[in-house]
Amino acid sequence: MNKVALITGGSGGIGRAISIKLAEEGYDVVINYHSDYEKALEVKKVCEEYNVKVMLYKCNISKFEEVEIMFKEVVKEMGRVDVLVNNSGITRDTLILRMSEEDFDKVIDVNLKGCFNCIKNVSRIMMKQKSGVIINISSVVGLSGNIGQVNYAASKAGILGITKSVARELVSLNVRCNAIAPGFIETEMTETLSDEVKKQILNDIPMKRYGLAKDVANVVSFLAGEDSSYITGQVISVDGGMNI
């Protein structure tokens, strides 16, 4: 019987790479998405090429009731949840003097509260199983901060606090919780940045190249598997050396 992995925001960018990588590794995959069904369906078809079971589930992870229903439906359909990857995230970038309360709240609701909502619900499942792995996608911005990203940095720094606290709380139940802090990864989210900003970022990367979504997916695969069975409460930067 295959293990089951649920990836929030699993249809685009880093989430897409994670979904496909875990399917390639033999996991049955649950792809959570918010709005773009066609994109989610495309990822589902790619994952199914690895002869695994794939489930799509539309859910706004910032809404606790929707998340609660999602996990109940997933267990009903898939039987269990062995790996949760909290990948879903949004940005609303602007300087704090211009940032509206709505811009701040929206990013916190999706990135941070969404992470809480999913862990809260999956922890019950993993407790009954007496096993599980939780992997939270944070950001190098959560470690260092960034101009124009007070809301995003706060949400991603909060994820690190959640990771370490949950790791301590659930370790006795054989549940591990770790975080990944990606640096500048080429995705649709980063394509909106100007060439000038991209050039400036490149200058700050010791390896002098941008990361790829698969670089993050490879670390997710490692943290999900038995080779990392003695690792919990840790933050792994995937950033080409930005956080040295």
**Two structure tokens written together for 82:** 């062995």
Query: Within the chain, where are the H helices?
Result: 13-24, 37-48, 64-78, 101-107, 114-129, 140-144, 150-170, 188-191, 195-203, 213-224
Catalytic residue among 27, 152, 210, 230: 152
Residue 146 gets which letter from DSSP?
-
Q: DSSP states of 36-93 as a string?
A: -HHHHHHHHHHHHTTS--EEEEE--TT-HHHHHHHHHHHHHHHS---EEEE-------
Residue 37 annotated among the catalytic residues of the structure: no
Per-residue exposure over 23-57, b if at least 16 CB sit within 10 Å of its own CB, e if not: bebebbbbbbbbeeeeebeebbeebeebebbbbbb
Residue 172 gets which letter from DSSP?
G
Calculate helix-pair angle for 64-78, 114-129, nearest 10 degrees.
30
- CA 30/CA 47 separation, integer angstroms: 10
Give the sign of the dihedral formed by CA 128, CA 129, CA 133, CA 134. Answer: negative
**Two structure tokens written together for 79:** 């039987």
β-bridge pairing 235-238 and 54-58: unpaired
Q: Which residues are catalytic?
A: 152
